[in-house]
A = this chain, B = another copy of it.
Amino acid sequence: MNGARALIETLADAGVEVCFTNPGTSEMHFVAALDEVEPMRGILCLFEGGATGAADGYARMADRPAATLLHLGPGLGNGFANLHNARRAATPVVNIVGDHATYHKRYDAPLESDIDSVASACSTFVRRSTTTADVARDAADTVAAAMGSPRQVATLILPADVCWSDAPGPVEPTPPVPPGAVADSLVAEVCSALSTPGAVLLVGGRTMREAGLVAAARVVAATGARLFSETFPARHERGAGLPSVERLAYLAEFAQMQLDGATHLVAVDTPAPVSFFAYPDKASVLTPEGCEVTTVDTTVDPVALLEAVATALDAPGDVAVASPARPDRPTGELTSESVAQAIAAQLPDRAIVVDEANTSGLFLPGATAGGPRHDWLCLTGGAIGIGMPLATGAAVACPDRKVLSLEADGSAMYTMQCLWTQARERRDVVTVVFANHSYAVLNMELNRVGAETIGPKARRMLDLTGPDLDFVALARGMGVKASRALTAEDFNEQLEAALAERGPVLIEAVIPPLGL
C-alpha cells in the first residue's frame, strides 16, 4: 500500500473517521485512497475555512477529532481563522496540510510557501512527515497530540511523495498524554482561595458541561464564592435541570461591574479575565486592583479538580438548577429580542445552538436559560466566519439532533459556502440570519474607542447596505431552502416549518440594528 492509505488506515484506527476537505493536486493520492479505507468519510467543503471550522464543530460535539485536508500554504491560510478559533477552544483537530513532494520544494514552484510558519501560528503541534516509512507513525502521533492534555490543534504537513510512495502499513494508535493528577496541594489552595470573603470562581473550557457545572455549583454553595463563566465557552451544556452560570460580559466595563468587589479569583480551565480589546484609558485586566488571581495548569483535568475541591469541602450533592421556562411566541415587530423569544419558544430538545449572532444575540442566552437541555457553541477566538462551518461539523457529528445556526449578517458573509455542504450532506441545520444590514458591533466599538469625528466615509465601512444582501437568494443559490421573515408572526411560522423539515433551511430575519 502507499503512504496515503497507511495514513488513512492509521487515522481510522485511532478514531478519526471524518475528513473535511478542499483538496488540490498535491493531495490527490490521499483523495484516491479514501475509497480503500471504508470507515473514513470525506466531506467536501468549497472553501478551506469551512473545512477547518467544521472540524472544530465536529470535535466539540463528538469528543474526538476530525481531520482536515488542505492544499499547501494558501489552503492553510484560508483555513487559518477557524483554526485560530479552534485553538482558542482547545478543540482537538487533526489538521493535515498537503505539500509539494520533498524533492520538488527546492524549485520554489508557484504554490511554494512557508507552511511551517503559518502552521505554528495556529497550531501548538506541528509535524512534517518526511518519509513514507514514518507517515503512519506521524499520523498516530498527530492524533495523540490533538487528544492530549490539553487538547489542541495538531498539524501534519504531508508532502505528496510521502503519500504516493510504498509504505510498510498502518500503525497502532499512539496513546495520548493523560491529564495530570490533581495534587492535594492544589485542592487545598483552591479551597482556601475560594473560602476568602469576596472570592470568585471563574469556570470555562471542559467544566462547562454537566459534571463540571454541578461540581462548580457545589463548590460555590459550600464556600459562598460567586460563580461566573468565561465569556465565550466552546461548548456549554445548559437548560432546565442544569446549574446556571452567569457569563462574564463581552464589554469590559460590564465585566468589571460583575467582578466588582472580587478579592481572589480562581480561574479553572480558562485564563484570567482580560478585555477582548484595548481601549484608550480603559483597563486591560478585568479583575479589580488588588484582587489575587489563581489560574490552573491546563494539563490538569479541571472537572476532577472541581470534584476534588467539592469533596474536600464536604459540599452537599444537591445544587440549584434552572427551572423549566419557555417564553410565549412573540407577536408584532421583529427585533433581535423577539427573534430570541421566538427561538426560545420553539427550542427543540437536545438542540445544538451555534451562536455567531454577535450583537443581535444579546437576548438569546436569557431567553433560552430554562429551555429544554441543549448545547451552546460560541465563537471562541473572535475570528468571525465560524458559525456556518461549526454548525456543519456539529450536524455531521450528531445526525440525530437539530442544529440551530444563529448568524449575524456580517459574519454570515465569511464562510457561507458551508450551506452547500449542509445541503449535499443533508444535515439538519436551521440557520437564522439576523439581518440588520450593519457591522453593528463595529458601530458600537467606533464610539467606544473614543474616535472623535465619525464621518460618512467611516460609517460606510461599517454598514452592509447599498446593495442589501438577499440571504434567501444566496441560500437558494447553494441548494438550501430559504424564506424571509419581516414580522414575529412570520418568523414563528417559518421556524416551526424549518424545524419540521429534514435537511438544511435558512430564515432571513429582517431586524433593525440595536441602538447600542
Contact residues of A with B, CB < 8 Å?
A: 21, 23-26, 28-29, 31-32, 34-36, 41-42, 44, 46-47, 49, 73-81, 84-85, 88, 100-101, 103-104, 107-111, 113-115, 117-118, 120-122, 160-161, 164, 232, 271, 274-278, 280, 284-285, 380-383, 385, 410, 413-414, 417, 420, 423-424, 441-442, 445-446, 449-458, 460-462, 464, 466-474, 476-479
Instruction: Determine whether the beta carbon of B117 is less than 8 Å from that of A461.
Output: no
List chain B residues, Cβ under 8 A from A285: 107
List chain B residues, Cβ under 8 A from A74: 80-81, 84-85, 381-383
Interchain nearest-CB distance for A423 vs B (Å) = 5
Most buried by B among A34, A115, A471: A34
**Given known contacts A414-B47, A474-B477, A77 and B84 CB-to-CB distance under 8 angstroms:** yes
Instruction: Determine whether the beta carbon of B473 is less than 8 Å from that of A477.
Output: yes
Instruction: Determine whether the beta carbon of A278 is less than 8 Å from that of B442.
Output: no
Instruction: Determine whether the beta carbon of B110 is less than 8 Å from that of A380.
Output: yes
Smallest CB gap from A115: residue in B? B121
| C-alpha gap A469/B415 in the complex (Å) | 15
Most buried by B among A36, A100, A478: A478
List chain B residues, Cβ under 8 A from A454: 32, 35
| C-alpha gap A424/B413 in the complex (Å) | 15
Number of copies: 2
Instruction: Determine whether the beta carbon of A470 is less than 8 Å from that of B477.
Output: yes
| C-alpha gap A332/B57 in the complex (Å) | 47
Residue from B77, B118, B458 in contact with A35 in the complex, judged by beta carbons closer than 8 Å = B458
Smallest CB gap from A272: residue in B? B107
| C-alpha gap A458/B35 in the complex (Å) | 7
Instruction: Determine whether the beta carbon of A84 is less than 8 Å from that of B109.
Output: no
**Given known contacts A280-B164, A451-B29, A477-B470, A34 and B461 CB-to-CB distance under 8 angstroms:** yes
List chain B residues, Cβ under 8 A from A424: 466-467
Instruction: Determine whether the beta carbon of A109 is less than 8 Å from that of B470.
Output: no
**Given known contacts A477-B473, A479-B468, A107 and B274 CB-to-CB distance under 8 angstroms:** yes
| C-alpha gap A452/B36 in the complex (Å) | 11
Smallest CB gap from A410: residue in B? B46
Instruction: Determine whether the beta carbon of A122 is less than 8 Å from that of B451.
Output: no
| C-alpha gap A111/B85 in the complex (Å) | 9
Residue from B36, B113, B469 in contact with A453 in the complex, judged by beta carbons closer than 8 Å = B36
| C-alpha gap A110/B417 in the complex (Å) | 25
Residue from B41, B446, B461 in contact with A42 in the complex, judged by beta carbons closer than 8 Å = B461
Q: Can you sample 27 A-B contacts with CB below 8 Å?
A: A24-B442, A31-B451, A32-B452, A35-B454, A36-B455, A46-B414, A74-B81, A75-B383, A77-B77, A88-B110, A101-B277, A104-B278, A107-B284, A108-B274, A109-B284, A110-B381, A111-B382, A114-B120, A160-B278, A420-B469, A424-B467, A469-B478, A469-B479, A470-B476, A470-B477, A473-B474, A474-B477
Closest 7 CB pairs of A and B: A467-B479, A77-B80, A35-B455, A32-B451, A74-B383, A473-B477, A101-B278
Smallest CB gap from A78: residue in B? B81
Interchain nearest-CB distance for A164 vs B (Å) = 5
Interchain nearest-CB distance for A254 vs B (Å) = 16
| C-alpha gap A26/B442 in the complex (Å) | 10
List chain B residues, Cβ under 8 A from A107: 274-275, 284-285
| C-alpha gap A464/B455 in the complex (Å) | 44
Residue from B77, B101, B477 in contact with A81 in the complex, judged by beta carbons closer than 8 Å = B77
| C-alpha gap A331/B478 in the complex (Å) | 30
| C-alpha gap A285/B103 in the complex (Å) | 11
List chain B residues, Cβ under 8 A from A380: 110
Interchain nearest-CB distance for A183 vs B (Å) = 25
| C-alpha gap A118/B381 in the complex (Å) | 17
Instruction: Determine whether the beta carbon of B88 is less than 8 Å from that of A442.
Output: no
| C-alpha gap A31/B450 in the complex (Å) | 12
List chain B residues, Cβ under 8 A from A161: 278, 280
List chain B residues, Cβ under 8 A from A73: 80, 84, 121
| C-alpha gap A435/B454 in the complex (Å) | 44
Smallest CB gap from A423: residue in B? B467
